[in-house]
Structure 1
Amino acid sequence: MLKKFSIIGLTLILGTTPILASVFPHAIWKPLDEYTASKSENNVINQIAASEQVVSIMTPEPESQERINILLNHHLELANAYNSIGSYEKAYENFKLYIPFGESQGHDVSYAYAKLMTLQPSLEVFQLSTNSSAPYFGAKLEPTQGVIYGSYYDKDPYVGVAYNNEDIRSRYPAEESMLLVYLEFGQDIKTPYIQNMLNLAKEENKLVFLGWNTAGSTLDTANSSDFPLHQTPQEYIASTIEYLSSQGLDTLIRFGGEMNNGPSGRNVFTGEVDPAGFIESFQYVSTIAKQYDNVGMVWSPDDIGGLDTPFEMFYPGDEYVDWIGVSMYPKKYFLDQIDTSDNKDINESIFIAGEHANPIKKIEHIITFMQEHNIQKPIAISETGDHHFVRNLNIETTDWAKLQMQKTYTEMFYKYPQIKAINYFNNSLHWENSFALHDNDILLETYNALVSDELFIKEYGQPATIGYKNITNGGIEIGSDIELSVSAYYPYANDVNEISVKYWLDDMLLSEATQSPYTINVGQDALAGKSELKVEMIVNGEIKQTQAINLMHN
């Protein structure tokens, strides 16, 4: 006989073709009917129970298209249902099981992959150490230890285009080791306000991080109408790089940044993505830069970009790249809009925004790309900024921005010590959100406190004398007082005051830290005679993850 699924079951599971009942085990029909009924009643618990029965019946069945269709649908349905009730471990398990079925049918599984990233909690513990070693790749201008850091000051009314060091220090006391300088392709490197920045870099011994922006993918379209070339692009490139080198400046060139999400990766005339044009342009500039020992190249995409413009599409090859860079801007609201649509979680998961906004997760995209392609390079955060005001919505977001900044400048560097440079985009433009430090005292104070840490290099050319050792799977070295910090992540807990961390020595509560990076200092007396440190991640009042670490007494 013929038996048809309901509209929901039919369209989601098997398309529109009736299926012979003899194709399926007889036991399947009852849970399928229960699934359809619970789905229409929006009864998530019953829906989960019914789908679990369907999966348990169909999993051992012989391979067939019908088996694929049913398991594909019900793993996805289970994943979404478990996700909706906060059962994230089960959701993760079912998204992972769904992916091979979805891929075999040509489905877009980007959401499922995004959920594998955003649904994994993590709790890692770090100990401040004077003998911790960061990965070292021997790249041009790479420090052996620590983070070269800087900012962008020429839109700061307290500094302006003069770039006077005393003015900068009056607002930003810690001595940065790098200056972020923007140059539009075609613009004269000797333009007075740019020269002011270069002079400061020379006088105060700072690395120059040159954001050399292009208006198109090819060299003959790289300059905009604002900066007409009076020589060939090749002559302009050669003279610019030669001038930088001749000034005795160590310079990292980020050429054509954000090519996966901007004009530098597109054909000016058609608007189409043009990876071949970008790669040829980048390789040419890199070939010129290689002639100078004090000039390095940074290949720097947007942290996620478009789903149809993956990193590998634009990668010019290891021999042309000294550093991997990335632009990373956490977003409290996807597209700066309050999303009430059914696609809210899809968009926020894929683009690490909204409820999933977290710099530790955003940086994972480029980390994963490098691991998959065995790219052994130091990483620079070419630009980052934490918006304290969403212009489209007229919403103040300072508390949220402070949390994002704290995680970026602490947890991210502890977890990924191969990140060795960072620039803060200290700016407020009338057409976008405000990331500026100069118009927000809370963020300014937070930034100044964070970069005062000894991990951030204050004198360019001198490595940091400290690091943060990951002791999650090891032990705590005890010989003196210790400082411990934590990188903590839990799904959908990325706003203020949602996560805290408790530290226990054996059965004694030491402290509960409520602000990233959840740092505590423990004296030798408190450690005496103790054998274990326990660290708990508390999410909205509930213990969600625990790490136990042995104490190694000298």
Structure 2
Amino acid sequence: MVWSPSASPKQTIDDYYPGDNYVDWVGLSMYSVKFFNGDKKQPADYVNPLDLLDYVYEQYADRKPIMISEYAATHFSKAGNEDTTQFAITKMNMLYNGIKLKYPRVKAVHWFSLNTLEDSHSEARKLNNFSLTENMKIREAYRKMVSDPYFLSSVQTDNTNSKLAYRIYEYKNQVIRDNVTATFWAKTYDPKIQKVVVSLDGKQIPDLKQYPFEVSLNTSKLTTGSHQLKAVVYDSKNRVAISKTFVIKTGK
């Protein structure tokens, strides 16, 4: 039994919960659109899809696995007849990489692959193209996203499966002895992050321009001890939105 409300209005979601005895999964339906209700006077591009997930996750994830029952990001908006391919790719990356890093109890994600411009239950809802197959850039971005070993194509019950050994952890002053991938999580006032500039002990690493903002750290080339890893996040106007310096420790 999957109980699956819409992400909004969140104020009344709990009123409709049948109870733990009747629910196996808690689901959620949510979408990333450029404009609310197809109205160019109501921009919606500032909404982070993870903000839509937060409420249900915080309320139910400690006792039920969470399912994104329906998600999609529009790559063409009827409002203004606007191509929004890059918008869709960015929102897709926000959601899937955010799930991987911060929402371990999300156990299933379903993309709502439908061109509502042509196929919808009412004329009023013919506003966006969410299809994964009609836009090759979207299809390739999705293919690349779900090829990440964190995401499984089927339920795995064999604990020896290499994919199940995928480890993600928050750095909390551990001593790093192996080569690791550092992923930077940033959420700012601006929905569009232009780039993240990373430096290690003052030496700049090539700019990161799309989620996931991650770099490989070869600790075998570092001396034992403490090192400074700095990340600077730039907004859509190429202004510094936030910066943070992390001290990491390496050992043999």
TM over 0.5: yes
Distance 1:469 1:298, change over 3 A: same
Work out whether residues 511 and 520 of structure 1, in 8 Å CA contact, stay in contact via their aligned partners in 2.
no
Structure 1 residue 408: deviation in Å? Answer: 1.3
Identity between Structure 1 and Structure 2 (%): 26
Alignment map for 1:90-101 (pairs within 5 Å) = none
Q: Distance in 1 between matches of 2:203 and 2:174?
A: 17
The residue type paired with residue 107 of structure 2 is: K
Structure 1 residue 476: deviation in Å? Answer: 5.1
Structure 1 residue 359: deviation in Å? Answer: 1.5
Aligned twin of 1:468: 168
Aligned twin of 1:494: 191
Work out whether residues 25 and 66 of structure 2, in 8 Å CA contact, stay in contact via their aligned partners in 1.
yes
Structure with bigger helix share is: 1
CA deviation map 1:38-82 (0-9, x unaligned): xxxxxxxxxxxxxxxxxxxxxxxxxxxxxxxxxxxxxxxxxxxxx
Q: Given the alignment, which residue of 122, 132, 138 partners 1:443?
A: 138
Q: Distance in 1 between matches of 2:53 and 2:10?
A: 15
Aligned twin of 2:210: 515
Q: Given the alignment, which residue of 108, 111, 119 partners 1:421?
A: 108
Q: Given the alignment, which residue of 453, 456, 462 partners 2:148?
A: 453
Distance 1:321 1:312, change over 3 A: same
Q: Given the alignment, which residue of 5, 28, 53 partners 1:326?
A: 28
Q: Given the alignment, which residue of 8, 20, 43 partners 1:304?
A: 8
Q: Given the alignment, which residue of 528, 537, 540 partners 2:223?
A: 528
Q: Distance in 1 between matches of 2:170 and 2:71?
A: 25
Structure 1 residue 454: deviation in Å? Answer: 0.7
Work out whether residues 505 and 534 of structure 1, in 8 Å CA contact, stay in contact via their aligned partners in 2.
yes
Alignment of 1:478 onto 2:168:
no
Aligned twin of 1:398: 85
Aligned twin of 1:363: 53
Work out whether residues 455 and 465 of structure 1, in 8 Å CA contact, stay in contact via their aligned partners in 2.
no
Structure 1 residue 530: deviation in Å? Answer: 5.4
Alignment of 1:412 onto 2:103:
no
Structure 1 residue 479: deviation in Å? Answer: 2.2
Distance 1:518 1:298, change over 3 A: same
Distance 1:386 1:543, change over 3 A: closer
The residue type paired with residue 383 of structure 1 is: E
Aligned twin of 2:37: 335
Structure 1 residue 441: deviation in Å? Answer: 0.6
Q: Distance in 1 between matches of 2:202 and 2:10?
A: 49
Structure 1 residue 434: deviation in Å? Answer: 0.8
SS of the equivalent of 1:469 reads: coil
SS of the equivalent of 1:544 reads: strand
SS of the equivalent of 1:393 reads: helix
The residue type paired with residue 416 of structure 1 is: Y
Runs of 4+ residues deviating >4 angstroms: none
SS of the equivalent of 1:405 reads: helix
Q: Distance in 2 between matches of 1:426 and 1:476?
A: 42
Alignment map for 1:41-80 (pairs within 5 Å) = none
Work out whether residues 499 and 537 of structure 1, in 8 Å CA contact, stay in contact via their aligned partners in 2.
no
CA deviation map 1:120-155 (0-9, x unaligned): xxxxxxxxxxxxxxxxxxxxxxxxxxxxxxxxxxxx
Q: Distance in 2 between matches of 1:476 and 1:508?
A: 22
Work out whether residues 96 and 145 of structure 2, in 8 Å CA contact, stay in contact via their aligned partners in 1.
yes
The residue type paired with residue 494 of structure 1 is: P
Q: Given the alignment, which residue of 32, 45, 49 partners 1:354?
A: 45
Q: Distance in 2 between matches of 1:319 and 1:535?
A: 48
The residue type paired with residue 544 of structure 1 is: I
Work out whether residues 505 and 530 of structure 1, in 8 Å CA contact, stay in contact via their aligned partners in 2.
no
Structure with bigger strand share is: 2
SS of the equivalent of 2:156 reads: coil
Q: Distance in 2 between matches of 1:420 and 1:306?
A: 21
Structure 1 residue 306: deviation in Å? Answer: 6.7
Structure 1 residue 331: deviation in Å? Answer: 1.9
Work out whether residues 178 and 220 of structure 2, in 8 Å CA contact, stay in contact via their aligned partners in 1.
no
The residue type paired with residue 358 of structure 1 is: N
Distance 1:553 1:459, change over 3 A: same
Aligned twin of 1:276: none
Alignment map for 1:224-243 (pairs within 5 Å) = none
CA deviation map 1:476-523 (0-9, x unaligned): 5522221111221101x113xx34223232333234311111111122
Q: Distance in 2 between matches of 1:421 and 1:477?
A: 33
The answer for unaligned runs of 5 or more in structure 1 is 1-296
Q: Distance in 2 between matches of 1:512 and 1:313?
A: 46
Work out whether residues 326 and 383 of structure 1, in 8 Å CA contact, stay in contact via their aligned partners in 2.
yes
Q: Distance in 2 between matches of 1:390 and 1:306?
A: 25
Work out whether residues 336 and 390 of structure 1, in 8 Å CA contact, stay in contact via their aligned partners in 2.
yes
SS of the equivalent of 2:32 reads: coil
The residue type paired with residue 299 of structure 1 is: W
Q: Distance in 2 between matches of 1:510 and 1:475?
A: 22
Structure 1 residue 538: deviation in Å? Answer: 1.6
RMSD: 2.2
Q: Distance in 1 between matches of 2:71 and 2:197?
A: 30
Work out whether residues 483 and 521 of structure 1, in 8 Å CA contact, stay in contact via their aligned partners in 2.
yes
Distance 1:482 1:476, change over 3 A: farther
Structure (1 or 2) with the larger CA radius of gyration: 1
